[in-house]
Structure 1
């Protein structure tokens, strides 16, 4: 009885569960794509994900590259925000085309950049006429080498510039002894900073230099309180103009100096009628012009002065230095004139005295007979009144006239005695 009940239960269970089991299989089969079995789905999805991950990483690398051009960079941003298909299309189609366009833009920028060295500019112009592949080779292979050569030339020029400050010069020399990377770092990092420091030192020197003109000093004081860029502008743009203005004032003052000689006056006036460069050249030659001018003054005094003046003037000329001429004109001349005047006074009223070398000096004081020699003054007064360019023959003629007048006076005296 129990066996029959167990068999009946088993038949009932089988009848209930069979439709569900057999109906589930067709449903699962209908959910799969045609021609694909269930076990192949996971590996295909993994491959697609791996490809997109690799594409995304490559695009991120391109975006992070500082050499990436503007056109590529804009397309990269869109690709990252798009689908995997967009990213694959960018890498295989858009990127090569946009990179070639950006490379040509870079060449134009290199050619037009005033900071590009001659080597880089010439090589960029040559590459511009080549293919996309040749341009790519230039930018990635040749440009670093050519730029390194230009950089070393640039640092050498900085060192050779007389306006380069001490701090920049020392750092430049150290960079040249290093690698190409050291030179690049100097030009991009150290040079701007050290140049700014040296520029401030230059301002201090301009302000404290006693030879600095009024306008330059005022401009330097104002610039010192500005930024590094303002100081750079002052030294490279404003300073030459202000210095030229101060130089013209200086030359004008020289041309108006008391007792200036012909040589110096003519040179000063010629410079004032010329350009700023002519003014600069005059001031550079001023010591030699003054020497020539003072030598002419002393030579004229040696011809026209009294015995002591002549003696001192000839000694100054024989020394052959400007210092000796200045010493004579500022000190020795007055002393020599005093000696000549004293010697003339010892000769007695109306008489003459023979000086050294048999030179006769005529007294300048009154003769006591109602006739007075017209106040001749000192030798320097005569030079100032006649000018150093006055002909020496005129001075000799004046002396001859005095001799004739003296002879006439002597003849008149003899006629009175006979009467």
Structure 2
């Protein structure tokens, strides 16, 4: 893995926006390699997949009794992952005629399922757009152009996780490129561990949790070293003590990338 990573790292670093490298060479870059946004789930929980038959797989829907039809619909309603469209249509069918219940199980449930899946996909697109996740964005747009129930379900069940894994790995390679330039040892170590594991869970965990904590460790080390400067001003010394007392990842990052340059020397 690491033997091929050098080439990928060079490519990813080249793709990193120029603003990431505008700070002085001895300082951390002023922008994160990933946008600040809500964590993108690795694997969403798709709304209920509609059954083709009742809970008794040996009974075709068109041969089910009224009691069997009701039981099948109640099973769908009991699923905690059922989406709003499925719940709405299931309740309407349950309050209707035998023919309405049968129609729901045969076709209506899958139509409602496609509605719920479309909502889920649009939510994914919104987060991916916020995060700049190009593979997910491309796959979702292709999916919405086709918009077949089967394609929507396949994306939610398997395709999204695969696309998100690719985007997470690209983001981590960019993080690694910036960290290597800045000599941020904790970030480099944690990024390499995530890339060595290369599971959706490990990549997502580092991108949305581990990176922030590792960067805070490196920022803290950087700031503490500033105290060893024999020519440090009183204002800088006081500002460093204040940010170290705060100790939050956000305060450390801001001081390293912005705040220190605003202190009168």
TM-score per shorter chain, which class? 0.5 to 0.7
* Cα 1:107–1:261 shift into 2, 3 Å: farther
Could you tell me which residue of structure 2 aligns to residue 215 of structure 1? Answer: 186
- 1:214 CA displacement: 1.6
Could you tell me which residue of structure 1 aligns to residue 138 of structure 2? Answer: 170
Query: Residue 215 of structure 1 contacts residue 243 of structure 1 at CA under 8 Å; is this kept in 2?
Result: yes
Gaps of 5+ in 1: 1-64, 80-86, 298-419
What are the superposed Cα offsets for residues 208-261 of structure 1, whole Å, 9 maximum, x if unpaired? Answer: 332363222112222222242333344344333333333333333345544333
Is the aligned partner of 1:157 residue 2:126? yes
Distance in 2 separating the partners of 1:271 and 1:252: 10
Is the aligned partner of 1:180 residue 2:147? yes
Report the count of equivalent residues: 204
Distance in 1 separating the partners of 2:54 and 2:211: 40
Query: Residue 158 of structure 1 contacts residue 169 of structure 1 at CA under 8 Å; is this kept in 2?
Result: no
Q: TM-score, normalised by structure 1?
A: 0.40
Distance in 1 separating the partners of 2:247 and 2:87: 39
Could you tell me which residue of structure 2 aligns to residue 266 of structure 1? Answer: 238
Could you tell me which residue of structure 2 aligns to residue 58 of structure 1? Answer: none
Distance in 2 separating the partners of 1:212 and 1:167: 29
Distance in 1 separating the partners of 2:158 and 2:64: 39
- 1:150 CA displacement: 0.6
Q: TM-score, normalised by structure 2?
A: 0.58
RCO greater where, 1 or 2, for CA within 8 Å and sep 6 or more?
A: 2
Distance in 2 separating the partners of 1:148 and 1:239: 31
Query: Residue 86 of structure 2 contacts residue 109 of structure 2 at CA under 8 Å; is this kept in 1?
Result: no
What are the superposed Cα offsets for residues 98-124 of structure 1, whole Å, 9 maximum, x if unpaired? Answer: 442332332332xx33xx7xxx34x55
Which of residues 90, 94, 101 in structure 1 aligns to 2:71? Answer: 101
Distance in 2 separating the partners of 1:191 and 1:269: 45
Distance in 1 separating the partners of 2:127 and 2:136: 8
Query: Residue 135 of structure 2 contacts residue 167 of structure 2 at CA under 8 Å; is this kept in 1?
Result: yes
Query: Residue 118 of structure 2 contacts residue 152 of structure 2 at CA under 8 Å; is this kept in 1?
Result: no
What are the superposed Cα offsets for residues 249-302 of structure 1, whole Å, 9 maximum, x if unpaired? Answer: 3333345544333443333333322353xx324423545433332xx33xxxxx
Distance in 2 separating the partners of 1:92 and 1:187: 31
Higher helix residue share: 1
What are the superposed Cα offsets for residues 164-185 of structure 1, whole Å, 9 maximum, x if unpaired? Answer: 4333333334444x13226555
* Cα 1:207–1:169 shift into 2, 3 Å: same
